[in-house]
């Protein structure tokens, strides 16, 4: 039985992960788990999966959680709690599903503790990919991708030679505004942006998908997960979300991974690798779908994607600034303090002001991250 820790159990990835565990109780046991502030759901999860250790976001939530259940295990909070969950002494597998830069430190700690990493927290590799890879290599740790696009590439790479790859092609649904004219972007509401056509995800990732920043972050993540030259990474819009990503080889052959848009499939693969787990999900019915469309992304309309591509090539601490600035603007958009079309504007201004350096430690990255948050927050407030 695989004993695992789960960071971010009440988010969309966390809930899907626990559903995989629920369907495979003889294969997995969750010994440590953390959440944000959804205490009602977290209490139900603790009652069902009975971990030894739980962690919440804030100290004042600990007594509130204890009131909701009969739990004799330890309850911690904040970054200390996430670090304890990530490094739990009896687990051998960590699934990192916290959204945003908050997942960086506990995921890194999990690597240092020699846990196999199931990585759903893309920001970890976006802002610190080189450091993460070095730590993983030193500690002989495997980092297994959970995102559907990276899982697809990981599966297509099975048995193939990296030297024979011409391109890695990540697919993007295009989000809810694929066909909306740019001049109407200033009128986009939060409610409209949260209606993704194919996937059920948390609010932050859904907004990132609407702006195509999510695909930009995934490009940077792929650059580090697969140690690939940025010039060999590409994006294509695929509205049906059936082809999850592709690899083109030097002989012109293209290998793709297909499946229904359900995150439980790549999550289960990352948890059970190199085996595959059966499930009760519907089979992919290509006859019913009947067509698969592919389009060039409009980077003039979706500026976030072009910004991420430039950051991927420039390197340094630009990635930390890109990610932090994006987290701030998305939070402010969700609070209806800025408009949708302003998202790339604030991010680009932060990148232009930043003096990038080659990070030598997590501290260098966290300094750039904090600078970007303060800079963008002040600009929005003004």
pLDDT at 100 over 90: no
Q: Quick one: tokens of 371?
A: 């600078």
Residue 235 phi, psi (nearest 5): -125, 140
pLDDT recorded at residue 70:
87
Tell me the domain boundaries of the chain: 2-145, 170-255+298-381
Q: What's the pLDDT tens digit per position in 271-329? A: 999 999 999 999 999 999 999 999 999 999 999 999 999 999 999 999 999 999 999 99
Q: What's the pLDDT tens digit per position in 7-46? A: 999 999 999 999 999 999 999 999 999 999 999 999 999 9
- For residues 70-78, average pLDDT: 92
pLDDT recorded at residue 308:
97
Topology adopted by domain 2-145:
Rossmann fold (3.40.50)
Strands 2-7 and 93-96 come out as: parallel
Alpha-carbon separation of residue 181 from 186, 189, 298 (angstroms):
10, 15, 11
Distance CA 150, CA 168 (A): 10
Q: What's the pLDDT tens digit per position in 142-193? A: 999 999 999 999 999 999 999 999 999 999 999 999 999 999 999 999 999 9
Assessment of whether the complete model's pTM goes beyond 0.75 = yes
Q: What is 170-255+298-381's CATH number?
A: 1.10.1740.10
First to last CA, the chain: 54
pLDDT recorded at residue 99:
82
pLDDT recorded at residue 283:
96
CA within 13 Å, CB half, 363: 1
Alpha-carbon separation of residue 294 from 181, 238, 255 (angstroms):
19, 5, 15
pLDDT at 199 over 80: no
- Contact indicator for 141, 111 with CB cutoff of 8 Å: yes
pLDDT at 264 over 90: yes
């Amino acid at each position: 039985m695989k004993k695992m820790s789960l960071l971010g159990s009440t988010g969309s990835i966390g809930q899907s992960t626990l559903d995989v565990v629920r369907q495979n109780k003889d294969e997995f046991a969750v010994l440590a788990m953390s959440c944000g502030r959804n205490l009602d759901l977290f209490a139900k999860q603790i009652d069902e999966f009975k971990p030894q250790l739980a962690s919440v976001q804030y100290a004042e939530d600990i007594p509130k959680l204890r009131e909701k259940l009969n739990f004799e295990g330890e309850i911690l909070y904040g970054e200390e709690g996430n670090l304890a969950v990530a490094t739990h002494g009896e687990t051998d597998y960590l699934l990192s599903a916290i959204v945003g830069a908050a997942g960086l430190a506990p995921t890194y700690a999990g690597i240092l503790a020699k846990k196999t990493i199931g990585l759903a927290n893309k920001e970890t590799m976006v802002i610190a990919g080189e450091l993460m890879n070095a730590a993983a290599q030193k500690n002989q740790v495997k980092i297994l991708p959970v995102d559907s696009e990276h899982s697809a590439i990981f599966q297509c790479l099975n048995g193939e030679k990296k030297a024979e790859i011409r391109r890695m092609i990540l697919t993007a649904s295009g989000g809810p505004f694929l066909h909306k004219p740019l001049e109407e972007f200033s009128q986009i509401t939060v409610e409209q942006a949260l209606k993704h056509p194919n996937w059920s995800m948390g609010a932050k990732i859904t907004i990132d998908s609407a702006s195509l920043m999510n695909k930009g972050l995934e490009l940077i993540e792929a650059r580090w997960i697969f140690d690939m030259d940025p010039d060999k990474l590409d994006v294509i819009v695929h509205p049906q979300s059936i082809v999850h990503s592709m690899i083109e080889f030097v002989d012109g052959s293209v290998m793709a991974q297909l499946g229904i848009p359900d995150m439980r499939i790549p999550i289960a693969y990352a948890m059970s690798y190199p085996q595959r787990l059966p499930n009760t999900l519907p089979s992919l019915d290509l006859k019913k779908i009947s067509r698969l469309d592919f389009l060039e992304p409009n980077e003039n309309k979706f500026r976030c994607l072009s910004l991420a591509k430039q950051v991927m090539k420039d390197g340094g601490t630009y990635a930390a600034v890109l990610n932090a600035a994006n987290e701030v603007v998305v939070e402010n958009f969700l609070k209806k303090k800025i408009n949708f079309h302003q998202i790339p504007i604030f991010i680009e201004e932060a990148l232009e002001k930043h003096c990038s350096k080659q990070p030598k430690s997590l501290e260098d990255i966290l300094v750039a991250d904090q600078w970007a948050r303060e800079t963008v927050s002040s600009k929005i407030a003004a």
